[in-house]
Structure 1
Amino acid sequence: MKKLLFVIFVLGLALVSCQSQKKENSTTMENPFFKEWTTPFGVPPFDEIKVEHYVPAVKEGIQQQQAEIDAIVANTADPTFKNTILEMDKSGELLSKVSGVFGPLNSANTNEEMQAVAREISPLTTQHRDNIMMNPELFKKVKAVYEKRNDLGLDAEQLRVTEKYYKDFVRSGANLSAEDQEKLKKINTELSGLSLKFGENLLAETNKNFKLVIDNEADLAGLSGDVIARAAEDAKKSGEDGKWVFTLAKPSMIPFLQYAENRDLREKLYSGYFMRGDNGNENDNKEAIQKIIKLRDEKAELLGFDSYADYVIDNNMAKTPEAVYDFLMKLWEPALDMAKQDVKEMQAIIDREGNDFKLASWDWWYYNEKLRKEKFNLDEAEIKPYFSLQNAKDGIFYVAKNLYGLKFIKRDDLPTYHEEAEAYEVQEADGSLLGVLYMDFHPRDGKRVGAWSTGFRQASYTKDGKRIPRIGSIVMNFTRPAGDTPALLSFDEVSTLFHEFGHALHGLFTDGPYDRTAGSVPRDFVELPSQIMENWAAEPEVMKVYAKHYQTGEPIPDELIEKLQKSGTFNQGFITGEYVAASLLDLDYHTAENANIADVRVFEKASMDKIGLIAEFIPRYRSTYFSHIFAGGYSAGYYVYYWAAVLDTDAFYAFKETGDLFNPEVAAKFRELLAKSGSDEGMKVYVNFRGKEPSIEPYLKKKGLM
């Protein structure tokens, strides 16, 4: 059943949509989903899977799982853990197999046909889940096992999976009247379609509907040679040979905002970015937002919650929206004070240079870079040569080997879904198989923006106890190579790679007997395994190993590391402030007393005015491209990254206080946390590792906010 939840979630994360199928009569065709995969490690045979295979396989998967559910209901024996909970947990194998391929590919390598399939699949899987979770006879059996769970001799894992399933049913409407269940089903179907539409609109706005074309070389003043070369390559690809093209993909946009001297062009590019989904065209997302917020509020009310945020956060470590607001304001107030001071210092630079304008949001990166040089004599262009993509990969593999003994062996013989995707066999220290990891690094049409970790197959066990290893994937949008220059990353991009690799390790290590609870953690716990990895990326001891000049092979000099360390708290007013502003906007939407949002722009402005957001920067995500909350799994939960940052700061200190970044005893305990993360409540799992609950103060000190 976790497989079914994964189907719905992964379709939501896909951020894109879909239409009809070809060759509906798939029983007469060679559909690889209906066969056992004989590829190495059972990875998907990507070269055999065609777009027309998905819909028939999903429909067959739904039928098969429904038959499994019907068999549970029809069983006349008294409900037990084995004949009810276990049978339900292991149901839906084919559906999981299909979604495990379709969801990740619809995010990383989509096209119009894939988007069409997503539009067709989404209501089918949503309705299928509702049919199971609102099945009154099935719920009676689950409830019967739940009510006598303490008398059945169940072990701790069996107790937990029983309790989680019971809560899932209740949260999914199993206790509602038949009339209210029909209302909830309709809401769920509408929400699933709206989320797909939101993501499809955003993909079009980001990758298709805007590009900055420069035909005057003078307008490139301030940009480095590698940035100019990549812009020339992008121009050639888009039919603008001899010109330079900059896009809304961050590896293209951010260097332009940091270094381009032409202020008007910086404004044009940044405006293109922050107006995505808000241009009054066919891809406008404002109406979708209005409908999503209203429907989510109706859903929460049906299920007995005061707001949608109450419904979501009740399942998290924080438990209440009030606790989240309190947490975020502890970050917002010092961040805003720091940002205001940075504004003064950047405005002073503008004035000294003889300019007659006030700092605007499209100026922040440019003058912040000047301020960084002024304060720390640190130029990002000086750092990048030490952080080639290959060096960064060497860094993550080095850390994984020294912490856990893992080996990553590149396998060119494994099928991949795109020529740029790389496949690695992951071995334990003794040479045994842990799993497989795909890596996909660069932006392209058909790939959504950002970076994420996903999987083609979850780590699990069969009914007879055979381990099924994880087939994971991490996907980025990093700077591309240009000519003879390899992909050179900013340190932020290096940190992103370590972050997503941390998610991948969590998936690879996950070890639990039941699909529903294996690796299943509260949303505000899920970023701990990823964010802790970023700490190793920044440690001088580690950096000296992997950060080497791509031309000379020389390790990064101590003075550059020292500059990076000293600048660690630089710009935290902006970095923390834009994040917290977006998190508060998310909460405001999902706690609004009146969920009928008359005007999205007005609502957003009122939310930001309430906290005193200054005009010089905007929230990290404006409403119309806030895909985390409107097309992903972070609604009423965008706060979780910083909640987890408090945990990861404290957890990394467990290594630091021993004097050994790779302390084997602490590493073994942390691996146990990752492997068994779904075996208990989030804070209990953390306290089992650390021996105490964390506090926010160490994180505030680390970021210079205290």
Structure 2
Amino acid sequence: MASVILRRNIVSRHLKRPFYQNKRNAGYVVLIPEIGEDADKNTLLSENGLPEFSDITIEKCIASISKQSMEYESGVRVIEESATDCRNAFVEIFQPLEKLDRQLELTWGIAKTLYLGNSSLMPTKSYLQIHERAHKARSSKFNSIPIFHAAVNEKNRLKKLTDEEQRLLDKYILEGKLNGLDVKGVKREKLNSLLSALQKERHIFRDKVNVATKAFSSIINDEEVIKEFPENLAKAMSVNNDASRGPWKITLQPYIYEPFMQYCPDRVLRWNTWQGYVQRCSGYGNKDFETSTVLEKIRSLRQEQATLLGFDTYVDMSMETKMAGSIENVYNVLDNLLESARPMQDVELDVLQNYANERGFDKNLEHWDIPYWQRKQKWSLYNFDEDKIREYFPLPKVINSLFNLCSTLFKIQIVERLNVHTWHKDVKFYDVFDDSSNNPIAGFYFDPYARQDEKIRVYDDAGWHISIRNKCSVTSTLPLSALIFNFQPPFDGKQSLLSFKEVGVLFQRFGHSLRHLLTKANYSEVAGLSNVEWDAAEVCGHVMTHWLYDPHTIQAISGHYSTEEPLPKEIVQNLQNVRQHMSGYNLCKELYLSRLDLELHSKKTFWRDLVRELWPKYNALPFDKYDSHPLSFTKIFSEEWGAAYYCHLWSKMIAADIYSAFEEARQGDEDIMAVGRRYRDTFLATGGACHPSEVFRRFRGRDPSPHALLKNLGLPKKVVDE
């Protein structure tokens, strides 16, 4: 995921004030390198060109990465020698780099696939060793001054470039600038020292949060408390791994904490668990876990980094890699959404309070009460229970229907290939065919089931798409990826049954993978998901999930596992209501975190003062004085989402606007298949080879607007001048 910046100003035709006012030049940065390409054929590939997973060991992966990394760095030095006086950078530099990448990326992709698919074969420590070595090697080309200057010179030549060539050059140029290649002397040394210190502080932050998360636990012995718990939650909490036998252990791991807060009827237990969650790393308990000092150090170092690179703030630097292009554009969108969401939150909480009071709850709702009563109210209003609805979503039916939908919309065929080596017997391999070709254009692995102690479990992120190998015309390489999930495995003769949320995760990850699999770019550096702006990276996944709210689609993918009876019509009709349930409250939470992230990275105000200032603007419930949630906000401080948390919402806004084109076609004269072809030819085919704002215009004929997202969430659209 990386980015470039829009070249033309984008002025919305549908809003009083424009959402975009972009003035930057195009560019790119790699913050997490893509996983992809090809590797040492002698040790890791079988005769069919796919990884020899049945014969891969940690030792082979580490040995291959070590060998290939040294060869890669040596190859970059050779290419640097020809960069000084090259006449055609594409032929003399970038095509050789594409070939060089081919030797490293598949091993890296295999390692990550094993890490997420079977961590007993690839433990965290071993994967991190491989990841860090491969990352260091691959970064060498983006830290090369001769290659950087060659890209600048090529761009300055008076010759016409294709969109893809322009994006490739911009990627190397912006990556070089953000790596400080045009910073000289003492400043360069200071930048290197600063980046090293920043990496160290981020690791400290991550480790402290992990330890603090694991340090909390609470035991339940009363069977009445877990009476309404879904079986998978009760089993995960049981110290005996038996849903019906206690005691049951509460932890702050997301896959326990989030559903526990929704299902636990005991308010004291909810309060205690919530306090443990929001006070992590606050220092109110164990001072060794405190991260406030680390957080402020990270903010300070990031500001220094931005200043050295010529930016006013870290947010300004971040915007170089975002579709939005400027903090003003982001604020315009966030504020527009807040105008609709905040008043609705007040109404929703009043209604929820009345609902709880009518059922014997005689207190004012607090933060730890909302998830529980929110779930109860949703069930009462719409007879909707995530766990009960599973019977209508057997995995084989859902996956076949998903493939059929993609076949219809995008003119592709997805066919299982047998006798392919995988990392587990449950894993299947599929070839993707274009309707116009008899040969596969891509392939992917599909690993659906949770396996205790083998897979990483994250409740709000139940699946991963791994780009094992990018498309590359220079090396005649086809895209290859893996989809890995944690769905319930078949048991007692039943097929794997999915909750509606899990169906959404499956559709989202598969929609995301289509951008990788169906790319038509020639250079792997800008193919598929590579070089896509961060705030546009999740768009295609979200577009696919919108189909679940189309009555015809949901009827097609559902069918009772024993009777094949489709999902009852009243539930189909209620799916939209469920999506809109307390949408103002939920959206305000995301808007608050997005704004907090941006202000933490653009102001010097102490973090707690920023929280107190922002909180009442986004939240109807009062702020709890012990709430220290930023101190465990790993996404922005130890992961890669600093000054980028808003990207999740931005992608949802763009996706809703894209899908509205399908809805308009359904209601008007345009053929919906034509919209599908146009979507494939723009978003899916182009990938990172063209700026997403331009891709959006080619698909939609205008600039994006948040109105479709507000409509989907049932939130009122503010009246604005056309």
Report if TM-score (shorter chain) is over 0.5: yes
Counterpart among 481, 498, 509 of residue 472 in structure 1: 481
> In the TM superposition, what is the alpha-carbon distance from 1:647 to its structure 2 partner?
1.9
Tell me the amino acid that sits aligned with residue 439 of structure 1: D
Partner of 1:677: 687
- Judging changes above 3 Å, is the alpha-carbon distance between structure 1 residues 144 and 567 closer, same or farther for their aligned structure 2 residues? closer
Counterpart among 585, 592, 597 of residue 603 in structure 2: 592
Give yes or no for the alignment of 1:258 onto 2:262: yes
The answer as to whether partners of 2:115 and 2:123 remain within 8 angstroms in 1 is: yes
Give yes or no for the alignment of 1:267 onto 2:261: no
Distance 1:334 1:526 in 2: 25
Tell me the amino acid that sits aligned with residue 542 of structure 2: Q
The answer as to whether partners of 2:594 and 2:645 remain within 8 angstroms in 1 is: yes
Partner of 1:164: 171
Q: SS where residue 564 of structure 2 aligns? A: coil
Partner of 1:438: 446
Give yes or no for the alignment of 1:80 onto 2:88: yes
Q: What does the per-residue CA deviation read over 1:637-694, in whole Å, with 9 as the maximum and x for residues that have no partner?
A: 2212222222222211222222289832221111112111322221111111121212
Give yes or no for the alignment of 1:687 onto 2:693: no
How well do the aligned residues superpose, as a CA RMSD in angstroms?
3.7
The answer as to whether partners of 1:407 and 1:426 remain within 8 angstroms in 2 is: yes
Partner of 1:582: 593
Distance 2:537 2:383 in 1: 37
Compare 504-513 and 178-187 and name the one that shifted more.
178-187
Matches within 5 A, 1:10-409: 33=40, 35=42, 37-39=44-46, 41-75=48-82, 77-81=85-89, 82-107=91-116, 109-110=118-119, 114-117=123-126, 120=129, 124=133, 128=137, 131-148=140-157, 150-151=158-159, 154-196=161-203, 198-199=205-206, 209-210=215-216, 212-223=218-229, 226-227=231-232, 230-231=235-236, 234-237=238-241, 242-245=246-249, 248=252, 252-276=256-280, 280=286, 285-409=291-415
> In the TM superposition, what is the alpha-carbon distance from 1:460 to its structure 2 partner?
1.9
The answer as to whether partners of 2:105 and 2:469 remain within 8 angstroms in 1 is: no
Q: SS where residue 425 of structure 1 aligns? A: strand
Tell me the amino acid that sits aligned with residue 655 of structure 2: D
Tell me the amino acid that sits aligned with residue 652 of structure 2: A
> In the TM superposition, what is the alpha-carbon distance from 1:268 to its structure 2 partner?
3.8
The TM-score normalised by the length of structure 2 is 0.83
> In the TM superposition, what is the alpha-carbon distance from 1:7 to its structure 2 partner?
8.7
- Judging changes above 3 Å, is the alpha-carbon distance between structure 1 residues 382 and 357 closer, same or farther for their aligned structure 2 residues? same
Q: SS where residue 524 of structure 2 aligns? A: coil
Partner of 2:8: none
- Judging changes above 3 Å, is the alpha-carbon distance between structure 1 residues 301 and 6 closer, same or farther for their aligned structure 2 residues? closer
The answer as to whether partners of 2:596 and 2:611 remain within 8 angstroms in 1 is: yes
Give yes or no for the alignment of 1:554 onto 2:561: no
> In the TM superposition, what is the alpha-carbon distance from 1:498 to its structure 2 partner?
1.0
> In the TM superposition, what is the alpha-carbon distance from 1:253 to its structure 2 partner?
4.3
Q: SS where residue 91 of structure 1 aligns? A: helix
Compare 293-302 and 257-266 and name the one that shifted more.
257-266
The answer as to whether partners of 2:352 and 2:377 remain within 8 angstroms in 1 is: yes
> In the TM superposition, what is the alpha-carbon distance from 1:227 to its structure 2 partner?
4.8
Partner of 2:630: 623
The answer as to whether partners of 2:464 and 2:484 remain within 8 angstroms in 1 is: yes
Aligned residues: 674
Q: SS where residue 579 of structure 2 aligns? A: helix
Q: SS where residue 225 of structure 2 aligns? A: helix
The answer as to whether partners of 2:543 and 2:656 remain within 8 angstroms in 1 is: yes
The answer as to whether partners of 1:402 and 1:662 remain within 8 angstroms in 2 is: no
Compare 424-433 and 111-120 and name the one that shifted more.
111-120
Distance 2:451 2:600 in 1: 31
Partner of 1:659: 666
The answer as to whether partners of 1:343 and 1:616 remain within 8 angstroms in 2 is: no
> In the TM superposition, what is the alpha-carbon distance from 1:443 to its structure 2 partner?
7.1
Q: SS where residue 141 of structure 1 aligns? A: helix
- Judging changes above 3 Å, is the alpha-carbon distance between structure 1 residues 603 and 670 closer, same or farther for their aligned structure 2 residues? same
Partner of 2:650: 643
Partner of 2:513: 504
Distance 2:417 2:121 in 1: 30
The answer as to whether partners of 1:364 and 1:616 remain within 8 angstroms in 2 is: no
What 5-or-longer segments of structure 1 have no aligned partner?
13-31
Distance 1:51 1:649 in 2: 42
> In the TM superposition, what is the alpha-carbon distance from 1:175 to its structure 2 partner?
0.9
> In the TM superposition, what is the alpha-carbon distance from 1:398 to its structure 2 partner?
2.8
Q: SS where residue 593 of structure 1 aligns? A: coil
Distance 1:204 1:395 in 2: 42
Q: What does the per-residue CA deviation read over 1:264-286, in whole Å, with 9 as the maximum and x for residues that have no partner?
A: 23334444544555564766655
The TM-score normalised by the length of structure 1 is 0.84
What 5-or-longer segments of structure 2 have no aligned partner?
3-27, 717-722
The answer as to whether partners of 1:383 and 1:560 remain within 8 angstroms in 2 is: no
Q: SS where residue 361 of structure 2 aligns? A: coil
Partner of 1:17: none
Q: SS where residue 264 of structure 1 aligns? A: helix
> In the TM superposition, what is the alpha-carbon distance from 1:536 to its structure 2 partner?
0.7
The answer as to whether partners of 1:395 and 1:537 remain within 8 angstroms in 2 is: no
Tell me the amino acid that sits aligned with residue 696 of structure 2: Y
Compare 631-640 and 238-247 and name the one that shifted more.
238-247
Distance 1:645 1:482 in 2: 35
The answer as to whether partners of 1:214 and 1:244 remain within 8 angstroms in 2 is: yes
Compare 208-217 and 667-676 and name the one that shifted more.
208-217
Tell me the amino acid that sits aligned with residue 628 of structure 1: K
Distance 2:536 2:618 in 1: 26
Partner of 1:538: 549
Distance 1:203 1:390 in 2: 36
> In the TM superposition, what is the alpha-carbon distance from 1:320 to its structure 2 partner?
0.9
Q: SS where residue 591 of structure 1 aligns? A: coil
Distance 2:451 2:206 in 1: 17
Q: SS where residue 456 of structure 2 aligns? A: coil
- Judging changes above 3 Å, is the alpha-carbon distance between structure 1 residues 65 and 303 closer, same or farther for their aligned structure 2 residues? same
Distance 1:92 1:299 in 2: 29
> In the TM superposition, what is the alpha-carbon distance from 1:304 to its structure 2 partner?
0.5
- Judging changes above 3 Å, is the alpha-carbon distance between structure 1 residues 163 and 376 closer, same or farther for their aligned structure 2 residues? closer
- Judging changes above 3 Å, is the alpha-carbon distance between structure 1 residues 609 and 574 closer, same or farther for their aligned structure 2 residues? closer
Q: SS where residue 527 of structure 2 aligns? A: coil
The answer as to whether partners of 2:235 and 2:243 remain within 8 angstroms in 1 is: no
